[in-house]
């Protein structure tokens, strides 16, 4: 009989963490009887009753948690006598709170996503970077988006907040005034309406408001990648940056901030994408201008090859299973 693997997911909405679980989940089935306990994430879900039955059985069980509330739930079961191996992933790069650190120390193994995150944590951990579902995030030609008038698209996907650097991108987007057939499309959940108003004001200041589009969070993000020639990830901080990896997997030409999240590990500058200093508007503007004018190659094919070789969900699942068995 196979050992049991349970990934927990308790969050009111879908996030990058949700997608990361869904990406790896199919690859566990050969070696584990795998389930998801919680909400929002898609997979073979189990109920509370089924979970309890498994945890208090004599089977070999691994539970992989991703948030504090999930660890706490599992520790309650452990206090009641359930026996299982507890794995916890830390998804944030910031220094953990005392509560988070205490909860992580209660796990049998702790996973981090990137080196800086690993270094900041202060306790023993294993780095396992996210992987992309390379069968879903694929290049596709002639994809168009509704209500976008321009033929060529620059995309920025993810949460719309100051830390994600959209102000820098909007300031650099003044070059679109010279390129009327290009649009900037920003897709993501807006944290604060005032920040969205600030971004719209920048677009108006540069007289490019008719070339800048704001789209709410969508489950069909693949189509946006496929329709875009260029993807910009101007973040000042990232836990990992799954957006960058997904865009590269779709064959997009990616411009991302240097030494933020996993950007500098994913991208070899000018070989499979482009890197710029976080906050440097002039540098981003120059790269965008050169790419729009075809003075720099797009490197989309090279980006896709990098993901296939080193950053697939299958590779991530294999690395996680080594943690589970260690």
Residue 12's pLDDT is 85
140 belongs to a structural domain: no
> Comparing C-alpha atoms, which of 322, 272, 305, 325 is closest to residue 128?
322
Query: Reduced to 3 states, what is the DSSP secondary structure of residue 57?
Result: coil
pLDDT tens digits, residue range 199-244? 999 999 999 999 999 999 898 999 999 999 999 999 998 888 889 9
Same domain, 186 and 300: yes
Contact 90, 104 (CB under 8 A): yes
What pLDDT does 120 receive?
86
Q: Specify the pLDDT at position 322.
A: 97
- Could you tell me if 116 and 84 lie in one domain? yes
Please list, in sequence order, all residues whose beta carbon lies within 8 angstroms of the beta carbon of residue 30, skipping any fewer than 6 positions away.
Answer: none
What Rg value do the Cα atoms of the chain yield, rounded? 21
pLDDT in tens, 158-171: 999 999 999 999 99
What is the reported pLDDT for 69?
96
Range of lowest pLDDT (12-26, 102-116, 306-320): 12-26
Same domain, 22 and 117: yes
Q: Are residues 91 and 167 in the same domain?
A: no
* Segment 121-136 mean pLDDT: 94
- According to DSSP H, which parts of 183-292 are helical? 193-205, 221-227, 242-249, 263-266, 281-292
In a domain, 205, yes or no: yes
Within a domain: 224: yes
What total number of domains does the chain contain? Answer: 2
61 and 108 belong to one structural domain? yes
Task: State residue 209's pLDDT score.
Answer: 96
Say if 254 falls within a structural domain: yes
% of the chain with per-residue pLDDT over 90? 87
Same domain, 72 and 166: no
Same domain for 211 and 231 = yes
Mean pLDDT (the chain, rounded): 95
- The Cα 259–Cα 263 span in angstroms is 6
CA distance readout (Å), 59 to 3, 52, 108, 172 = 7, 12, 17, 57
Distance between CA atoms of 132 and 251, rounded to whole angstroms? 13
End-to-end CA, the chain: 19
In a domain, 138, yes or no: no
pTM: 0.85
172 and 214 share a domain? yes
Same domain flag for 180 and 304: yes
- Does residue 19 register a pLDDT over 90? no
d(CA 168, CA 280): 7
- Is residue 76 assigned to a domain? yes
- Listing from the earlier edge strand, what are the strands of the sheet with 61-65? 33-38, 4-9, 61-65, 85-89, 109-112, 126-127
Residue 75 sits in a domain whose CATH number is 3.40.50.2000
For residue 261, pLDDT beyond 90: no
Residue 141 lies in a domain: no
User: What phi and psi, each to the nearest 5 degrees, are found at residue 231?
Assistant: -120, 130
Residue 317 and residue 276 share a domain: no
Read off the pLDDT of residues 47-102 as tens digits, 9 standing for 90 and up.
999 999 999 999 999 999 999 999 999 999 999 999 999 999 999 878 889 999 99
If asked whether residues 119 and 229 sit together in one domain, one would say no
Q: Which domain holds residue 302?
A: 152-310
Handedness of CA 222, 227, 231, 212 (dihedral sign): negative
| 139 inside domain | no
């Amino acid at each position: 009989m196979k050992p049991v693997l349970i990934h927990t997911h308790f969050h009111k909405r879908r996030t990058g963490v949700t997608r990361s679980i869904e990406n790896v989940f199919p690859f566990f089935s050969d070696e584990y009887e795998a389930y998801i306990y919680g909400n929002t994430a898609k997979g073979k879900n189990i109920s509370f009753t089924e979970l309890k039955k498994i945890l208090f059985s004599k089977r070999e069980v691994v539970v992989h948690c991703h948030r504090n509330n999930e660890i706490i739930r599992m520790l309650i079961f452990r206090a009641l006598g359930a026996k299982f191996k507890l794995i916890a992933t830390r998804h944030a790069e910031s220094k953990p709170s005392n509560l988070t650190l205490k909860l992580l120390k209660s796990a049998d193994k702790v996973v981090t996503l990137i080196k800086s995150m690993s270094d900041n944590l202060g306790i023993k951990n294993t780095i396992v970077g996210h992987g992309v579902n390379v069968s879903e995030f694929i290049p596709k030609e002639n994809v168009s988006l509704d209500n976008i008038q321009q033929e060529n698209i620059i995309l920025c996907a993810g949460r719309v907040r100051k830390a994600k650097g959209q102000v820098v991108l909007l300031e650099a987007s003044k070059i679109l005034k010279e390129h009327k057939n290009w649009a900037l499309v920003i897709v993501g959940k807006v944290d604060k309406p005032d920040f969205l108003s600030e971004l719209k004001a920048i677009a108006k200041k540069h007289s490019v408001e008719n070339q800048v589009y704001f789209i709410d969070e969508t489950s069909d993000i693949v189509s946006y990648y496929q329709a875009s020639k260029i993807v910009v990830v101007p973040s000042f901080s990232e836990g990992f940056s799954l957006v960058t990896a997904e865009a590269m997997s779709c064959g997009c030409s990616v411009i991302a901030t240097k030494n933020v999240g996993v950007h500098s590990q994913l991208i070899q500058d000018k070989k499979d994408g482009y890197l710029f200093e976080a906050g440097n508007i002039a540098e981003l503007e120059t790269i965008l201008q050169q790419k729009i004018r075809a003075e720099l190659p797009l490197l989309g094919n090279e980006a896709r090859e990098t993901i296939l070789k080193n950053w697939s969900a299958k590779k991530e699942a294999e690395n996680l299973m080594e943690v589970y068995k260690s």
